[in-house]
Chain A
C-alpha cells in the first residue's frame, strides 16, 4: 500500500488500501507515486523494500545475557504468520538468494528461518516495467517464475490466480474459482510480454560481468566515486544484500546485556576495518567492492550474480547512480583487461 509517498508493505484491513489506479514513476534518484483513474490494483512496480526486511530484520536481538555465572538466553522472534500481497518476480528471485545464504548454508540462521516460515507470498506478474527495471536481462522477471505460494495476473476484467506451493493450494482449493479460458491465458502472456518489452535498461551477462575483476584499475571507477556519496542507500534497498553488524547493548544498571544485529553496508567504515587497518578507506574502493562483489564475486559464492534487476539501487540512489551504466562503461570494448 502507499505510505509516505512510496509503496510499502504495511498491515491492511481492507482491499481499498491496495490503492486502485496507483502507479509509480521511477527514474535514477527519483520515485513518485501517481494516482491514475483506472481501478487496477497492481500497476505499480515496487517501493524501497522487497521481502528482505520481513526475513532478515533490519535490527533484532539475537540473544540476551544476565546473571552470575553468566547465562545466555536465545531470543527468537515471535513472528505471527503474515501474507505479503503483490510480491514481484525480481523480489522472489532475491528471496531465494537470501534463503540460500541464510538457510542453506552450513549454519542456518534461526532468526531468519523463524520469520521466513511464517510468510505467505502472494506474487503478481508485473503489468508494466518502471524506467529503472531490468529483470529481463538478469532472467528474473517480469512474469512470476516460482518461489510464491499463490500467483496472480491482473487482467482488465479481473484476476487469474494459481497455486505455486502446497500452502497456496490449500487456499486456492477453498476459493470458488472459474477456470481460465484461452483468451484470458493469452491476455496474461501478452501483459507480461508487454512489460518485458517496456524495459530500457539491461545488465551485461554473467560471464561478461566476471571480467569486472580484470578492470579494477579502470578510470571509470573514479568517475563513479566522484558522484557516489558512500551513503549505503543502494545496499539498504538491495533485496539481496545481506551484510550485518553485531554489537552489545547493556542495560543502564549493567545487569543485562543483549547482542543486537543490524543491517550494515560495505559503504560503512566498520565493514572493512580489521585490526587497526581500514582496508577500503575511500569511496572508489567501496563502490568497487560493492559492484564487483554483487555482480562478479557472487557468481563464485552463490552460483549467480547478486542482482535480480529490480532497479532499486538506481531509483533510490540519492544522486541517481545507475549500476547498469557503470558496469557497462567499465566493461566497454576498447578498454584494456589487466
Chain B
C-alpha cells in the first residue's frame, strides 16, 4: 500500500463555478475523496497547484479567451485523463450564444473600454481545442455521475455513460410525462440522459442542459412545440439555449431560425 495516490486537479475556465459547487455539495463522499486521490488543485476548495502534473483533470468552463487556450493546452499536457465537466466545458455553455451575435457591437454597448477585454470571437467547448477523454454533461453536472466516472477511472475501467433520452430516466422514476399531461414544451425526448430527469420530476419541462441525445429529430419536436402554442422564435430558443453550440442543437437552431415555415 505504499503506492502513491493518484493526483486530481479541478480546473476552472469561463464558467459560473456551478459545476465545482456541485462537487462541493457532495457531502459525505467529498470527505472520502481524499482517501482515494491527492487533490493537488481545486482553487475553489483550497488546494492551488495549477501547474502540477496529474492523473485526472476535471475541467469546468468554456474556452473563451486566448489565455483559456494557452491554459487548456497546458492542462492537457499535464494530465493523463482530461474530463470535461458540464455544458460549458463540453459545448461552450450559455456564453456560446454570443457566437450567434456581433460581439464587438455588444461589447461597445456594455463596456466603457471594450478594447481592454481580450476575448476570442467564439466560446467553445474544451474538445474544440484539445483531446478530451470523457465528457460529462449538464448545467450543472450530476455530481453522482462524476463520482461514478472517477471511480471507474481509478479502477482502470472505461467510464460508461448511458446514451439514451431523458424520457427513459423520467419514466423509470415514475414521472408522468409533462409534455403529454401538462402541455409543457419539454426537451427531454431529444436530450441526453444523466441528470435523473430532474426538471420533469419537479413538474417542469427539460431545458436540454445535457445537450443532444444520440438521435435528434428536431423538426418533429419543433412542430409539436408549435402545436402547444410556442411561436417560432420561442421554439428556436428551446434549442438555442444552454447547449446551443452542441452540433445537433446548433444545426436545429440554424434550421429553425433560417426558415421557420419550411417544416
Contact = CB atoms under 8 A, between A and B. Distances in A.
Interface of A: 3-6, 8, 29-32, 47-49, 53, 58-59, 226-233, 236-237, 245, 247, 249-254, 262-265, 267-270, 282-283, 286, 315-320
B2 interface: no
18 contacts: A227-B220, A229-B190, A231-B165, A236-B167, A250-B151, A250-B155, A251-B151, A252-B32, A252-B33, A252-B36, A252-B147, A253-B36, A264-B164, A269-B163, A282-B215, A286-B215, A317-B180, A319-B223
Contacts of A320: 224
A142 B220 CA distance: 33
A256 to B, nearest CB: 11
Interface string B153-194: 011000010111101100111111101111100101110000
A32 B154 CA distance: 48
B199 interface: no
Contacts, number: 138
Nearest to A236: B171
A236 B220 contact: no
B174 A236 contact: no
Contacts of B35: 253
Nearest to A30: B180
Give the interface size bracket for B toward A. 35 or more
B233 interface: no
B148 interface: yes
A143 B215 CA distance: 40
A270 B163 contact: yes
Interface in B176-228: 176-177, 179-183, 186, 188-190, 203, 213-215, 217, 219-221, 223-224
B51 interface: no
A149 B51 CA distance: 69
A29 B180 contact: yes
- Ranked nearest first, the 3 interchain pairs of A and B with the lowest CB-CB distance are A236-B171, A231-B189, A6-B176
B184 to A, nearest CB: 10
A229 B251 CA distance: 16
A283 B213 CA distance: 13
- If over half of A's interface residues share one DSSP class (helix, strand or loop), that class is named, otherwise mixed; here it is loop
Contact of A269 (B173, B183, B214): B214
A265 B151 CA distance: 27
Given A230-B165, A318-B189, A283 B217 contact: yes
Q: Name B's interface SS.
A: helix
Given A5-B182, A31-B181, A318-B221, A232 B175 contact: no
User: Looking at B167, B174, B221, which has the most chain A CB atoms within 10 Å of its CB?
Assistant: B167
A237 B190 contact: no
A232 B164 contact: yes
B168 A263 contact: yes
Contact of A230 (B155, B182, B215): B215
B29 interface: yes
A47 B176 CA distance: 8
Nearest to B175: A4
B120 to A, nearest CB: 33
B67 interface: no
A30 B181 CA distance: 6
A58 B174 contact: yes
Nearest to A263: B172
Nearest to A273: B163
B176 A231 contact: no
